[in-house]
Amino acid sequence: MGKIRVGVIGAGSWAVASHLPNLTKYNDVEFVGVSRKGPALLQKIKDQYGFQVASEDYRDVLNAGVDVCIVGSPTAFHHEHSKAALEAGAHVMCEKPVTIHARDAWDLVSTAERMNKSLVVAFGWNYLPMLTKAKALMDERGIGNLEHMTVHMSSQTRELLSNTGAYPAASKDSLPEQRTWTDKNLSGGGYAQAQLTHALGLALWLTGARVQSGFALMTSPMNAPVELHDAITYKFDNGAIGVVSGGSAHVEAHRKTHAVEVRAIGDKGQILVDLERAAVWLYSNGKNEFLPLEEDAGYYDCEGPIEAVIRAARGEEFINQSPGELGARTVEALEVAYKSADSGKLESR
């Protein structure tokens, strides 16, 4: 086949730091169109990667004709941009969370199905060998029916979400606009939207769980415009219960950028996944299994989602470890949490 024509809508900080460099690894990728706000940086990205079209209007990217569209715009625009790209005939890799509202996420799932296109969510951890092996253990041996799950995440976002500093992994050439993270109209919220979405995308993928209801407490110290810390209790569709917590740590607080731990207990066993300490342990039907892992096995990268959407465009077989429906289940969990934090009551999806 010919070149894979790629467009980027929302070439922000993470797209510049991760998605665009990862796309250069493929010899069959052709950089066709790019869109973002700010003419100076837009021109710089156009020149650096050789895009044919550069515009502040995302529709110009789609009108140029693309096989793959990377959507990295603020979360509030993900639905509009991803739906337009799917309906223009592109496979889409969308940043997380896939939308703010669950109804919009499920609409993207149905749109992708209608257009016979792949929708990949940027849950990079789900593609790491450490995690694909953990998923294989769950698929092959499992833990039986889920009864209880705990999820904890802590990452270096205290300064970012309180408007006092930048995210440490941000590209120095394209520092994120603070309001992308701290204006609720654009982000939907704080730590849960920015980071817990990753942990939920991992936990719900491993277990197949779907949130039914939840009660959440959220706090905003330092006069932060969005929440820095989250404590959420969930009930899942099958009757299982769980606790999810997220904390905005200080820059340089972790030896890795993120701490993520998932523990799930079922009626036939249990699993532990610890990214900071690079540990995967499964107990099932009386047998323990520990995966041998390198110290850096849990380091985050987002190469997997990019590879997935490129393979989709090639027509190759691939496993979508972060499909749109997983993104939608994650948004359901987030939406329940924010509704509860606002109302002070148990809320259902």
Average pLDDT over residues 20-33: 98
- Residue ranges matching CATH 3.30.360.10 in the chain: 126-300+329-348
pLDDT at 172: 64
pLDDT band at 275 (very low <50, low <70, confident <90, very high): very high
pTM of the model: 0.96
pLDDT at 251: 82
Scan for tokens 């920015």, then name that residue: 194
- Residue ranges matching CATH 3.40.50.720 in the chain: 4-122+304-318
Pairwise CA distance, residues 330 & 152, whole Å: 15
Scan for tokens 């990753």, then name that residue: 198
CATH fold, domain 126-300+329-348, is Dihydrodipicolinate Reductase; domain 2 (3.30.360)
What value, to the nearest 5°, has the Cα angle with vertex 248 and ends 290 and 173?
100
Choice between 166 and 304, residue whose per-residue pLDDT is larger: 304
CB under 8 Å to 335, separation ≥6 — which residues? 100, 101, 102, 349
pLDDT at 1: 67
pLDDT at 173: 66
CB under 8 Å to 177, separation ≥6 — which residues? 12
Q: By CB neighbour count within 10 A (0-12 exposed, 13-18 middle, 19+ buried), where does 117 fall?
A: buried
Pairwise CA distance, residues 272 & 8, whole Å: 36
Q: Contact at 8 Å (CB) between 75 and 100?
A: yes
pLDDT band at 165 (very low <50, low <70, confident <90, very high): confident
pLDDT at 166: 72
Average pLDDT over residues 299-312: 97
- CATH number, domain 4-122+304-318, options 3.90.190.20, 3.40.190.10, 3.40.50.720, 3.40.50.2300: 3.40.50.720
